[in-house]
Structure formats: structure tokens, C-alpha cells
Amino acid sequence: MSVRTVSELDALMARLAEGDRVAFTRVFELLWGPIQKLCLSLLRNEADAADAGQEAMHKILERASDFDKTRPAMPWALAIAGWECRTLARRRDRRRESPADAMPSCAGPHAEEEFLQRDLTAAAMAALGALSELDREVLIATFWDEAASVSGATLRKRRERALDRLRKTFRRLYGLD
């Protein structure tokens, strides 16, 4: 954004803060692009970025009378947009939602299997996360063909113990006997 555009935005926001509604459209035009870019970079999902951007623009234009004319308009507007992105991300996390592109498609004959596999994988990762670092290292070396710090009989015995602890942890977490 050029210096002239920044100055124009500051002047228009000052006019909008004083109640001049003629400045509304131009303020929207100047702010929409940067706010959309910020929201997309923070949320990494186009639909969520559009929602957060719209909510941010609504709050910016609604709170124009609160704008401090002695300060620049762009940081003020971007702070509001950033806050909206943070709020949307927290709301999504609380609901344990994930972006639509992270979900397997519901179409097709194997959709139920995909959902079950995803849930089982998440449960296994949670149980694996409850194990000690040494147990995780042994299991990862065993199943993902990575080099372990030990080999031979020691690795086999550690693998046996780690798998036993993984089974117990999984049963404790998910009530399976």
C-alpha cells in the first residue's frame, strides 16, 4: 500500500469517525484486500478467512466512531481482523472442528471406512502420546523403519514392553478389555 493510499485511508477513517457516511465505500475498498490477505494467511482456509474478514469489516465499520484520528488506520483495522481470526480459530478448536478439506469426502462406497480409520488413527495417536519418549522411539523404529538407538534382543524386548504398555494405555483410555 502506497504512502498516498495510507494517507487517504487515515483521512477517510477520520471522516467516517466523525459521521461522514460518504467515506464508507472507499474505506471498505481500501481495507478489504489487506484484511482478506491477513485472514487467509492466519486461518489457511478460504471459507474461514472470508467469514473472519466479513466479521472484521463489520466491526471496523461499526466501530468507526471509536477510531483515534491521531493514529494510523491500517494497524487498527488489521488488529481487529487478527482478533477475529483468533476468535474463529478458538471457536473451531473448542468445537473440535477441522477445515472441510481435512475431512474425507462423504461420497463413495468407502466413506464409513475412511471415517472409522480416521477415528482409529486419532485414538492410536492419543494412546501413543501417553507413552514415554523411550516407548515411542522403540515403536516408531519398529513400525516406521527408522533407526533405533538399540538393536537385536534389546530392541525386541523393549518393543514387547512398549506394545504391552500401548495396549494397556489404549484400553485405559477407550475402555476396551
User: What are the boundaries of each domain within the chain?
Assistant: 7-94, 128-176
Containing H/E element for 81?
helix 73-94
- Mean pLDDT, contiguous 10-residue spans, the chain (177 residues): 87 94 94 93 90 95 92 91 89 68 55 77 76 79 64 82 85 69
The per-residue pLDDT for 131 is 79
Q: How far apart are CA 55 and CA 91, in angstroms?
A: 14
Would you state the pLDDT for residue 108? 57
